[in-house]
Amino acid sequence: MAERRNFHDALEPIVYLNSSFVIAHCDRGDPFHLECRDFFSRLQAEGVICVVSDFVYNEVAFYILRQALMREARRTGQRWEDILRVAPHVFQEAMNRVEIVRADLERRTIALPITENARDLAFTLMRQYNLLPTDAYHVAVALDAGISAFVSLDEDLLAVDGITVYMPV
């Protein structure tokens, strides 16, 4: 089992920001938005090095784009997948938000590479802890870089031995 910490506990010097945290941080409608915003500010103020991977960029971008497409789908009574084809302007407008979030992440975090070692470790973690692929990749990329502290809203990570997971109370 992972060590679970809350956003008020002592901080590790380097933490991996999982997608669920970044999404809650950037989505004002998320129930954990304020806690995540305040914790990210605390991390920055206390000099904690925050890292991410391409998986974070991918999941955050998909979330923002899908949310915009779903809003338009509800408004028009269509499937969100169809909005992409029939109303490309919705996608393009949402890309503005994606670019803002990307720039903010690039300014405030370090992106870790995805190595062959991390790829192999991800499959081991999937098998060992019944992690979904993207969760396993997040953990594998961080562990491959020697980082064992995570900030996440995803309780599935708590199954992994030897890591620390910061979560809201």
**Complete domains list, the chain, with CATH:** 3-57+99-167 (3.40.50.1010)
Average pLDDT of the chain to the nearest whole number: 97
Q: Does residue 78 come out as left (phi exceeding 0), alpha (psi in the -120 to 50 range) or beta?
A: beta
Kindly state the average pLDDT of the residues 61-66.
97
List of residues 6+ apart from 167 with CB closer than 8 A: 4, 5, 6, 7, 151, 152, 153, 155
List pLDDT tens digits, range 106-149: 999 999 999 999 999 999 999 999 999 999 999 999 999 999 99
Specify the pTM: 0.95
